[in-house]
Amino acid sequence: MAIHVSSHPLVAHKLALLRDKATTPKQFRELVRELSWLLGYEAMADLETRQVTVETPLEEMAAAALEPRVGLIPVLRAGLGMVDAMLELMPTAQVWHIGLYRDERTLKPVEYYNKLPDAATVQVCLILDPMLATGGSSAATVDILKAWGAARIKQVSLIAAPEGIATLSAAHPDVEIHVAAVDRELNDRGYIVPGLGDAGDRQFGTFAGPSSEPGHDSDETAEVVRRLQRNLSPDR
């Protein structure tokens, strides 16, 4: 398993602001963008380059150009906020949206949007999703990308739970995971704690009142989380 947790002080500082419940949706979107820029920079550190020739005003020189064709795969909705920063880093990247939402009771991902063409058009895929909670959405996205023919896949998230990392790396050990932080655990409604709440709602300001607060009490949901936690550590 390859998990990279950023140790950059700027990432830690911005993540603390992002978590704060007093952070407004406007500030939240700005922070998601800034964190995506920093994590994207780290996640792309091992991409190959090819030699090109550049003419400076003084002389010709050998320089480097990014070699692989890169695809950005934002998982709707929350992954949308990570796209612009990544496109600033790599203006020629292709963007392929995948629509998934997590069923609140079963915590299983439900696919609702996928317009991938028949065969893969990129060599490296970066899945963009701020939260890696149970890992269900991420593992399903990797399944979709592998069926498409993607050979090299990286997951870029802001916060991960240990349960999600375990699920994703068991299903897809070849996928590199880049995050700003790994939090303590999932609560019995499948939310990352301490976390930041619902990344989609906080970005887009879609708070509809108490009934849509994180999760609904459900024995079934809590049992799904307990199962994930037993897999993580048989002694829990």
**Is 66 or 185 the residue whose CB approaches ligand PRP more closely?**
185
Q: How far apart are CA 88 and CA 173, in angstroms?
A: 29
- Judged by CB under 6 A, the residue of 195, 203, 224, 229 near ligand URA is 195
Does residue 183 bind ligand PRP (CB under 6 A)?
Answer: no
> How many C-beta neighbours within 10 Å does residue 21 have?
7
Q: How far apart are CA 180 and CA 63, in angstroms?
A: 31
CA dist list (Å): 34 to 30, 80, 95, 133: 6, 13, 19, 21
Does residue 31 bind ligand URA (CB under 6 A)?
Answer: no
Does residue 102 bind ligand PRP (CB under 6 A)?
Answer: yes
Are 221 and 188 a contacting pair, CB within 8 Å?
Answer: yes
| Least CB distance to ligand URA at residue 102 (A) | 6
Q: How far apart are CA 111 and CA 97, in angstroms?
A: 11
Are 150 and 128 a contacting pair, CB within 8 Å?
Answer: no
Restricting to residues 64-93, name those near ligand URA by CB under 6 A. Answer: 78
**Is 70 or 224 the residue whose CB approaches ligand PRP more closely?**
224
* Beta-carbon contacts of residue 183 (< 8 Å; ≥ 6 apart): 159, 160, 161, 192, 193, 194, 195
**Is 71 or 136 the residue whose CB approaches ligand PRP more closely?**
136
Does residue 78 bind ligand PRP (CB under 6 A)?
Answer: yes
| Least CB distance to ligand URA at residue 134 (A) | 8
- Judged by CB under 6 A, the residue of 83, 163, 191, 203 near ligand URA is 191
Q: How far apart are CA 191 and CA 107, in angstroms?
A: 10
- Judged by CB under 6 A, the residue of 140, 192, 225, 228 near ligand URA is 192
- Judged by CB under 6 A, the residue of 73, 131, 150, 153 near ligand URA is 131
**Is 162 or 190 the residue whose CB approaches ligand PRP more closely?**
190
Residues near ligand URA (CB under 6 A): 78, 131, 133, 191-192, 195, 198-200
